[in-house]
């Protein structure tokens, strides 16, 4: 028995981290990839002690990058969510935060010519077949790292990256509202029926009100230890997965559709203390949200979920819009989450989502080889 090694780059993108590979450095037989990625992350193991994983969903990710053959696209980007406690790799959806590191990676790896002061990188996310345009600050032929941009959930400051998710509706299901309705009443085994909005915009997300599951909506990761609440949330997510056709039986979603749909628990603006101990004021947000990713309360807010949230806020008839009732001409939506406030810039024409814009930072953490047991 011996070990194999693969060239890679470990990068932070927004509030997530991933191991980045050039597709050319992986086996041509893609059927071998999942086993490699499990070993890279050290899954299954709640500690992920024998791999690169960081024990939470936002740090157990893989990105595979290659030059694109598509017209008007610079690079193709394939995202993989690696589970922690079960041996599963989910390739069905995108990660918005990791998307923000693709532009800097492509520039620094020579896949895209560096143009000062800003290099525009057009990325095709192959999971969703959607385009993400990234505006990356560049200096001396490399993506800038230092800057004054603050990302809630990331210590310090970094160089601003402007991202635009183009025509993000129907990213996985090809429908903005995959159930055919803006509001659905779900029957949840063991719990009361609950009203939800299921929207597929950058990623499929199920929204429901905090009060409908008996919480305030300002809670943080302490919810993870509340087994009844987390079971309630997972059943809502699983029933939603069944309703939109990801699984035939809702019980199977725990093992075969672990990454999607995402979950957002919504409430009206409220004061609370975030993960870093800072006071977040109700007056600074339009909506208070808590995301759930792979069975745990997210410590920030996934970017694809932010795009979906902005869309649901703007489109009349969703439970999100009814809760917030935004101004007709309001395009900037401020989302209060576990680590502070994130703003999304939505361009929507009626019920057509033209694009959603967010700002992130990203940086290379290390590069070299990752070793895996054969």
Instruction: Give the pLDDT of residue 1.
Output: 67
Structural domains counted in the chain: 2
Pair 208, 255 in one domain: yes
366 plus 338 within the same structural domain = no
173 in any annotated domain: no
Q: Is 20 within 8 Å of 59 (Cβ atoms)?
A: no
Give the CATH number of the domain where residue 189 resides: 3.10.310.10
Note whether 116 and 260 are same-domain residues: no
Instruction: Report the distance separating Cα 173 and Cα 186, nearest Å.
Output: 19
Range of the domain at 294: 184-348
Q: Are residues 267 and 215 in the same domain?
A: yes
22 found inside a domain: yes
Q: Does residue 175 belong to any structural domain of this protein?
A: no
Judgement on whether residues 115 and 210 belong to the same structural domain of the protein: no
Q: Answer whether residue 176 is part of any domain.
A: no
Radius of gyration in angstroms for the set of CA atoms belonging to the chain, rounded to a whole number: 20
Candidates 86, 96, 111, 97; CA nearest to 21 is 111
- Grouping H, G, I as helix, E, B as strand and the rest as coil, residue 329 is coil
Domain match, 18 and 143 both: yes
Bridge partner list, 176: none
Whether residue 174 is contained in a domain is answered as no
Report yes or no on 179 lying in a domain. Answer: no
pLDDT of residue 111: 98
3-class secondary structure, 309: helix
**Shared-domain flag, residues 264 and 137:** no
Side-chain half-sphere CA neighbours of 159 within 13 A = 22
| Same domain assignment for residues 195 and 331 | yes
Q: Is residue 125 part of a domain?
A: yes
Per-residue pLDDT of the chain (374 residues; tens, 9 = 90+): 689 999 999 999 999 999 999 999 999 999 999 999 999 999 999 999 999 999 999 999 999 999 999 999 999 999 999 999 999 999 999 999 999 999 999 999 999 999 999 999 999 999 999 999 999 999 999 999 999 999 988 999 999 999 999 999 999 999 999 999 999 999 999 999 999 999 999 999 999 999 999 999 999 989 999 999 999 999 999 999 999 999 999 999 998 888 899 999 999 999 999 999 999 999 999 999 999 988 889 988 999 999 999 999 999 999 999 998 888 889 999 999 999 999 999 999 989 999 999 999 999 999 999 999 98
Q: Nearest Cα to 138, choosing from 159, 158, 123, 155?
A: 159
Residues 23 and 87 in one domain: yes
**Do 194 and 85 share a structural domain?**
no
The reported pTM is 0.89
Does one domain contain both 57 and 191?
no
The answer to whether position 23 is within a domain reads yes
Q: Do 192 and 284 share a domain, yes or no?
A: yes
Give the separation between CA 100 and CA 163, rounded to whole angstroms: 7
Q: Please list the helix, strand and coil fractions of the chain in percent, rounded to the nearest 5, in that order.
A: 25, 35, 40
């Amino acid at each position: 028995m011996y070990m194999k090694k693969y060239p890679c780059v470990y990068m932070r993108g927004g509030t997530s981290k991933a191991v980045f590979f050039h597709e050319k450095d992986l086996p041509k037989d893609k059927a071998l990839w999942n086993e490699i990625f499990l070993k890279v992350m050290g899954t299954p193991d709640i500690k992920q002690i024998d791999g690169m994983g960081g024990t939470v969903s936002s740090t157990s990710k893989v990105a595979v990058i290659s030059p694109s053959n598509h017209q008007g696209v610079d690079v193709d980007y394939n995202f993989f969510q690696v589970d922690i406690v079960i041996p599963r790799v989910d390739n069905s959806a995108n990660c918005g935060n990791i998307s923000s590191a693709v532009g800097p990676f492509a520039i620094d790896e020579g896949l895209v010519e560096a143009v000062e002061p800003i290099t525009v990188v057009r990325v095709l996310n192959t999971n969703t077949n959607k385009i993400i345009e990234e505006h990356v600050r560049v200096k001396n032929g490399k993506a800038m790292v230092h800057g004054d941009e603050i990302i809630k959930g990331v210590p310090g400051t970094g160089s601003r990256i402007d991202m635009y998710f183009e025509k993000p509706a129907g990213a996985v299901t090809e429908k903005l509202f995959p159930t055919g309705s803006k509001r659905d009443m779900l029957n949840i085994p063991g719990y009361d029926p609950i009203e939800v909005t299921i929207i597929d915009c950058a990623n499929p997300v199920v929204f429901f009100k905090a009060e409908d599951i008996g919480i305030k909506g300002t809670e943080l990761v302490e919810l993870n230890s509340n087994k009844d609440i987390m079971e309630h949330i997972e059943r809502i997510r699983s029933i939603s997965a069944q309703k939109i056709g990801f699984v035939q039986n809702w019980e199977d979603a725990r093992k075969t559709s672990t990454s999607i749909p995402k979950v957002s628990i919504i409430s009206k603006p409220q004061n609370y203390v975030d993960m870093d101990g800072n006071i977040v004021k109700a007056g600074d947000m339009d909506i208070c949200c808590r995301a759930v990713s792979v069975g745990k309360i997210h410590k920030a807010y996934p970017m694809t979920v932010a795009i979906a949230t902005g869309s649901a806020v703007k489109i009349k008839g969703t439970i999100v819009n009814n809760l917030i009732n935004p101004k007709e001409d309001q395009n900037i939506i401020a989302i209060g989450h576990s680590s502070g406030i994130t703003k999304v810039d939505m361009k929507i024409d009626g019920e057509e989502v033209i694009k959603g814009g967010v700002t992130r930072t990203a940086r290379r953490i290390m590069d070299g080889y990752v070793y895996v047991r054969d």
